[in-house]
Amino acid sequence: MKGLIIYVKESNFNAVKQVLFNNQVEAITYFDVMGQGHLEREATERIVQGYKTGEKYTPEFARRTRIETVVPESKVALLVEALKSDAHIEGRVFIYDMPEAHDL
């Protein structure tokens, strides 16, 4: 078994979820996280006491979605290629060994 951790922009979550479900991956966990990395951070307008200032700034950390799942080793390459081929998905996939798991 292999574990996949996928980091994407919040707006890409539904596209990733659809790719996973299309490839019979039904068990996922996701988190809304803040992070800093290779994905671009969008400049936003600074708001002071409820008023728009017109001043643009780039936040130090950006909102991302972290998606986790565990799949058979035979599906990993197929899933990575499916995620890469979707033009709407921008992010990063981390793959790690899952030596064993137990149901409680």
pTM for this entry: 0.80
Query: What is the pairing mode between strands 44-48 and 51-57?
Result: antiparallel
Q: In DSSP terms, which residues pair with 29 in a beta bridge?
A: 68
Query: pLDDT of 72-95, one tens digit each?
Result: 999 999 999 999 998 889 899 999
Q: How much is the average pLDDT of 31-35?
A: 91
2-97 to CATH, choices 3.40.190.10, 3.40.50.720, 3.30.70.120, 3.90.1150.10: 3.30.70.120
pLDDT at 50: 65
Distance CA 76, CA 38 (A): 23
Mean pLDDT of 44-70: 78
Please tell me the predicted confidence (pLDDT) of residue 45.
67
